[in-house]
Amino acid sequence: MGEARAFYRKLGFQPGYGDGPYDILSRGELVIHLEEQPGLDPATSRYSCYWRVADADALYREFAPTGLFEPGSHRLSEPADEPWGMREFTLRDPSGNLVRVGHNLA
């Protein structure tokens, strides 16, 4: 939990509630809940979450130079227009959680 908490704080999220295995952090109106799940293997987990934001490109431009992601790695993808009408990028946090971030193209 400590590693995930530190990662999201470096992305601009501020701590809210926290009781050890459960944290709530926010960045403006974007609120995330982190919960420790013993026994969950991130390498085989198929879970992910989606952040619908006003401007995915702007958020990508903020996240890319933080030093948290190796250039060209699978941990941060560049934004792309998707056939389902969203502009999206993905990030993978140190705990292996896949986060998809996007905004409507319309």
Q: Do residues 60 and 24 both lie within one domain?
A: no
Predicted model pTM: 0.85
Q: Which residue's structure tokens are 């705990």?
A: 95
Q: Do residues 62 and 24 both lie within one domain?
A: no
Q: Do residues 55 and 106 both lie within one domain?
A: yes
Q: Do residues 17 and 55 both lie within one domain?
A: no
Domain count, the chain: 2
Residue 4: name the closest of 24, 30, 71, 58 by CA: 24
Q: Do residues 13 and 60 both lie within one domain?
A: no
**Domain residues for 52?**
46-106
pLDDT in tens, the chain (106 residues): 788 889 999 999 999 888 888 999 999 999 999 988 888 887 787 778 999 999 999 999 999 999 888 766 678 999 999 999 999 999 988 888 889 999 999 8
Q: Do residues 55 and 29 both lie within one domain?
A: no
- Report CA Rg, the chain: 14
Element containing residue 1 per DSSP (H, E): none
Q: Are 51 and 29 in contact (CB under 8 A)?
A: no
Q: Is 71 helix (H, G, I), strand (E, B) or coil?
A: coil
CATH number, residue 67: 3.10.180.10
**Cα first-last separation, the chain:** 37
